[in-house]
C-alpha cells in the first residue's frame, strides 16, 4: 500500500466529461483528457483492503457486485500511484482482454462494492482502468503476440461481441486456429452497432480487432450462420464451435398503433446511426432522423440513454424518456446495503445533455404507454400515456393504471428500449440445442458445454442480457473449457 492516507487526503475525481452543450455538437467520446498526476492521486485513494470486494465478481440480489472478470484492482491502483504504468498494464491484461472497452462502457460494479464507498465516495476504478490501457496503446506497449506453436485444432466462434472476441483471443493464445463469424459488415457486435460512438469510438474497437488479426485470428463478416452458411456445415468443418450470438431478440410493445411509421426498436435507430457515421464520415445524411422532432424513448436502461444522447445530437425538438419503475432514492435504501450494486438516482450522459438543453431530466417515472396515436397518413403524432402504481397480488408485484392519469404527449419518433428476450432461434433450432425457460441456450456456467458434443455457448446467448463484463468473463471461461475438450487439459486461466 503506497499511501495509507491517500483516501483521507484526496477527494474522488473521475475523468471529467466535456461540457454537455459542446459535446452534443459532435460524435466524439464525451471524456476529456486527465492529467497523469491526478490519476496517480486517485490511485492512492485505494486502501489496499484486507478483503477487497471490488474484484470479487459476486452476484448479490441478482446484480453484479464487484468485477465479474476479477480484475486485480488494488494491485494496479497501487502501481499507478507509484507511476509503474507498464506493470499496471500487465496486471490489467491478466484478467481482462479488452480493458479499453470496459473502461469506457462498463457501469463499474467494482466501484459500487469499493470498501471506501461505505463511508466516502469510492475509488475512481473505471477511470484508472481506462487510463492504463490508453497509455499502454499510446506508449506502444500493446503489441501483437501470436502463439509460438499451433495445435492443429480448428475452432469456429459465432458472434464477434465481447464474449466472442474474448473466447477467440483466449483460444488463439492456446494455439488453436480460430475463425470468427459475424453477420454484420464489421467486427464487434454491439460494441460497434449497439453502443454509440460518443461512448465508445469505433476506432478503439477496430484497433483491437486489427491486433487480434495480426495475432492470427481470421474474421469472416457479412455471414449469418444458419442463413448464409448452415450451422451443421460449420460444425462439420471445425473441431469445436463456441456460440456467442448474444441476446438480440428485442422486447416489443404490442399496443394499439404499434404499426405506425415512426415507432422503432431502439437498436434499429442506434445501428443505422452508427452505420451512417462510419460509412459517410460526416453527420449530414443520417442525423436528420430526429431533427426538429419530438422523441419519446420507452425504457430507462443504457440503451434508452443512448437513444436520448443520439437524439440530442440530431437536434431533436424535445425528448422524453418513460420509465415504468419508480425514481430511485438519492442514497442507498436499507434493503440495498453495500456491497450490492447501489440502486440510487443518477443522471447518465444522455440525461445530463437533455437537462442542459431542455431544463430538466427527461425521465418520467412510473409511466407506461397505452397506445400510439397517428395522423391520417399513418405517421406517429403522439403517445397516450398514463401513470402506474405497483401492487402486490399473489406474491407478485404488477403495474396498475392510476385512474384519471391518462394524457397525450407529442411524438413523431418513438424508440422501444425495453430490453431483450433472449437469443434468436435459427442456430439453436438447426443444431437441436437445449434451451432454458427463458429461451437461452442451456449450458452450465463453468462448463459452457451444450447438449451437443463439441458445441459451447457463452455470454448473453447463455445467460441473457447482461453487463459487458459478464460476456468477457464467460468468453474467457468457455475458451478454457473448449481448450480442455480439444486437448484433454488446459493451461488457460
Q: Which CATH architecture has domain 6-138?
A: Orthogonal Bundle (1.10)
CATH of 154-248+421-487, one of 3.50.50.60, 3.40.50.720, 3.20.20.80, 3.40.50.300: 3.50.50.60
What span, in angstroms and rounded, lies between the C-alpha atoms of 109 and 62? Answer: 13
Contact 216/172 with Cβ under 8 angstroms?
yes
Contact 85/38 with Cβ under 8 angstroms?
no
Contact 416/264 with Cβ under 8 angstroms?
yes
- What's domain 252-418's superfamily in CATH? FAD/NAD(P)-binding domain (3.50.50.60)
Q: How far is CA 268 from the centre of its chain?
A: 17
Cβ neighbours for 268, distance < 8 A, ≥ 6 positions apart = none
Domain edges within the chain: 6-138, 154-248+421-487, 252-418
Digits of tens for pLDDT over the chain (493 positions)? 568 899 999 999 999 999 999 999 999 999 998 899 999 999 999 987 888 999 898 999 988 899 999 999 999 999 999 999 999 999 999 999 999 999 999 999 999 999 999 999 999 999 999 999 999 999 999 999 999 999 999 999 999 999 999 999 999 999 999 999 999 999 999 999 999 999 999 999 999 999 999 999 999 999 999 999 999 999 999 999 999 999 999 999 999 999 999 999 999 999 999 998 898 755 545 667 899 999 999 999 999 999 999 999 999 999 999 999 999 999 999 999 999 999 999 999 999 999 999 999 999 999 999 999 999 999 999 999 999 999 988 888 999 999 999 999 999 999 999 999 999 999 999 999 999 999 999 999 999 999 999 999 999 999 999 989 999 999 999 999 999 999 999 999 9
What span, in angstroms and rounded, lies between the C-alpha atoms of 59 and 107? Answer: 15
Q: For the chain, give me the number of helices (H) and strands (E)?
A: 18, 18
pLDDT for position 281: 58
> ∠324-329-331 over CA atoms, to 5°?
150
Q: Do domains 6-138 and 154-248+421-487 have the same CATH topology?
A: no
pLDDT for position 401: 95
pLDDT for position 118: 92
pLDDT for position 62: 87
> ∠474-480-482 over CA atoms, to 5°?
100
248: left (phi over 0), alpha (psi -120 to 50) or beta: alpha
Confidence (pTM): 0.95
pLDDT for position 484: 98
Phi and psi, residue 400, nearest 5°: -125, 135
CA distances to 323, 336, 398, 399 from 395, rounded to whole Å, are 23, 20, 10, 13
What span, in angstroms and rounded, lies between the C-alpha atoms of 79 and 491? Answer: 27
Phi and psi, residue 456, nearest 5°: -120, 155
C-alpha cell, 135: 497509455
pLDDT for position 333: 95
Nearest to 244 by CA among 155, 305, 323: 155
Q: What sign does the CA torsion over 109, 115, 116, 119 have?
A: positive
Q: How far is CA 233 from the centre of its chain?
A: 31
- Give the residue carrying C-alpha cell 452543450: 21
Amino acid at each position: 500500500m503506497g499511501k495509507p492516507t491517500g483516501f483521507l487526503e484526496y477527494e474522488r475525481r473521475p475523468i471529467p466529461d466535456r461540457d454537455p452543450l459542446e459535446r452534443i455538437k459532435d460524435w466524439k467520446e464525451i471524456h476529456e483528457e486527465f492529467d497523469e498526476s491526478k490519476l496517480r492521486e486517485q490511485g492512492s485513494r485505494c486502501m489496499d483492503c484486507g478483503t477487497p470486494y471490488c474484484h470479487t465478481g459476486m452476484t448479490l440480489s441478482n446484480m453484479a457486485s464487484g468485477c465479474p472478470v476479477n480484475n486485480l484492482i488494488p494491485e494496479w491502483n497501487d502501481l499507478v500511484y507509484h507511476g509503474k504504468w507498464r506493470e499496471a498494464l500487465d496486471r490489467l491484461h491478466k484478467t481482462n482482454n479488452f480493458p479499453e472497452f470496459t473502461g469506457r462502457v462498463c457501469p463499474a460494479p467494482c466501484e459500487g462494492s469499493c470498501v471506501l464507498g461505505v463511508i466516502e465516495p469510492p475509488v475512481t476504478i473505471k477511470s484508472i482502468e481506462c487510463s492504463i490501457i490508453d497509455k499502454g496503446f499510446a506508449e506502444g506497449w500493446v503489441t501483437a503476440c501470436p502463439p509460438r506453436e499451433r495445435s492443429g485444432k480448428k475452432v469456429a466462434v459465432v458472434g464477434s461481441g465481447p464474449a466472442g472476441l474474448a473466447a477467440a483471443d483466449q483460444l488463439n493464445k492456446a494455439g488453436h486456429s480460430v475463425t470468427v463469424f459475424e453477420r454484420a459488415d464489421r467486427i464487434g457486435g454491439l460494441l460497434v452497432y449497439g453502443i454509440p460512438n460518443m461512448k465508445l469510438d469505433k476506432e478503439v474497437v477496430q484497433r483491437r480487432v486489427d491486433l487480434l488479426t495480426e495475432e492470427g485470428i481470421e474474421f469472416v463478416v457479412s455471414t449469418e450462420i444458419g442463413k448464409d452458411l448452415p450451422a451443421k456445415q460449420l460444425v462439420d468443418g471445425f473441431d469445436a464451435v463456441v456460440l456467442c450470438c448474444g441476446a438480440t431478440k428485442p422486447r416489443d410493445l404490442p399496443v394499439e398503433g404499434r404499426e405506425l411509421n415512426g415507432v422503432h426498436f431502439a437498436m434499429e435507430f442506434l445501428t443505422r446511426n452508427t452505420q451512417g457515421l462510419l460509412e459517410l464520415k460526416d453527420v449530414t445524411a443520417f442525423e436528420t432522423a430526429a431533427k426538429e422532432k419530438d422523441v419519446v424513448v420507452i425504457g430507462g436502461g443504457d440503451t434508452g440513454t443512448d437513444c436520448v444522447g443520439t437524439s440530442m445530437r440530431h437536434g431533436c425538438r424535445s425528448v422524453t424518456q418513460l420509465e415504468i419503475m419508480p425514481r430511485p432514492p438519492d442514497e442507498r435504501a436499507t434493503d440495498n446495503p453495500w456491497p450490492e450494486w447501489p440502486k440510487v438516482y443518477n443522471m447518465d450522459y444522455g440525461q445530463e445533455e437533455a437537462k442542459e438543453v431542455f431544463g430538466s431530466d427527461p425521465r418520467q417515472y412510473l409511466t407506461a404507454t397505452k397506445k400510439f396515436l397517428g395522423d391520417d397518413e399513418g405517421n406517429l403524432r403522439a403517445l397516450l400515456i398514463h401513470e402506474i402504481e405497483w401492487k402486490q397480488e399473489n406474491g407478485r408485484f404488477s403495474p396498475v393504471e392510476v385512474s384519471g392519469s391518462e394524457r397525450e404527449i407529442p411524438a413523431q419518433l418513438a424508440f422501444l428500449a425495453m430490453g431483450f428476450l433472449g437469443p434468436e432461434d435459427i442456430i439453436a433450432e438447426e443444431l437441436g440445442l437445449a434451451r432454458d425457460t427463458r429461451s437461452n441456450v442451456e449450458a452450465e456456467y463453468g462448463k459452457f458445454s451444450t447438449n451437443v458434443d463439441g458445441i459451447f455457448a457463452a455470454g448473453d446467448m447463455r445467460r441473457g442480457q447482461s453487463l459487458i463484463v459478464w460476456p468477457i468473463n464467460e468468453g474467457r471461461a468457455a475458451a478454457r473449457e473448449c481448450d480442455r475438450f480439444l486437448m484433454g487439459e488446459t493451461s488457460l486461466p
